[in-house]
Copies of this chain bind each other. A is one copy, B any other.
C-alpha cells in the first residue's frame, strides 16, 4: 500500500510536469523508481492509473482547502472569501499539481464526453461555495446576483491559473488581479 501511494505521488508529479495527455506510464515508473509492469499490476492499465491519480489529487485538494481551522483566528467573511479564492494561486508543489490537473481536466473535457459530468459536478459545488461566501459579505444582495458573481470569480480564477501556469503571469500579480476582481464584484453587489 505504501508502494501504491508513492506511485500515485509520482504520477501527480509527472502530470504537473507533462500533463495528463503527456503522461507516459514508463515515466511514472521511473519517477517512482519501480518497473512499469508493477503499475499494471496495481492499476490494470494507463486509464486506471489516471483515474486513481485524479482521485488522489482531488482528495489532497479537499484537505488543503478545508484545513485552515488550526490556529482558529476567526476570519471575517471578506477574509475568508479572498483566502478561499487565493488558495489556488500559490507557488507550492501541491497546489501547482492540483491546478495543473484541474486545467488538464478542463482542457480534456472539451474533447472527451466522459469527463464532462465529473467536471460539471465539481465546478457547480465550487461556484456555490463562492456564492455563499459572497452572500456572507453582502447579505442584502439578491441570490441571482450572488450566483453570477460567484461564477465570474471562479471562471476568472481558472483563467488566471492557466496564465500563471503557462508562464504569462507572475503569481504575485495573479493574486493582486484576483483581489481586484473580488473588490469589483463586491462593489457591484453593494451598488445594485
Place the interface of chain A in its size category: 35 or more
Number of copies: 2
**Chain B residues in 8 Å Cβ range of A185:** 184
Contact A166 B106 (CB under 8 A): yes
A residues 149-192 near B (Cβ < 8 Å) are 149, 151-152, 154-160, 162-163, 165-169, 176-177, 180-181, 183-185, 187-188, 191
The yes or no answer to A41 lying at the interface (CB within 8 A) is no
Contact B191 A18 (CB under 8 A): no
Contact A107 B109 (CB under 8 A): no
A120 to B162, CA, bound (A): 12
Contact A119 B156 (CB under 8 A): no
Contact B119 A168 (CB under 8 A): yes
Nearest-neighbour CB distance to chain B for A169, whole angstroms, equals 8
The yes or no answer to A52 lying at the interface (CB within 8 A) is no
- DSSP class of A's interface residues: helix, strand, loop or mixed? helix
A185 to B184, CA, bound (A): 6
The yes or no answer to A21 lying at the interface (CB within 8 A) is yes
Q: Could you give, for residues 82-100 of chain A, a 1 whenever the CB lies within 8 Å of some chain B CB and a 0 otherwise?
A: 0000000000000000001
Assuming A18-B111, A19-B111, is B168 touching A123 (CB within 8 A)? yes
A19 to B157, CA, bound (A): 23
Contact A148 B166 (CB under 8 A): no
Nearest-neighbour CB distance to chain B for A119, whole angstroms, equals 7
**Chain B residues in 8 Å Cβ range of A44:** none
- CB-defined A-B contacts under 8 Å, sample of 13: A17-B111, A19-B111, A104-B107, A110-B166, A119-B166, A120-B168, A148-B177, A149-B180, A152-B156, A155-B156, A155-B160, A184-B184, A187-B188
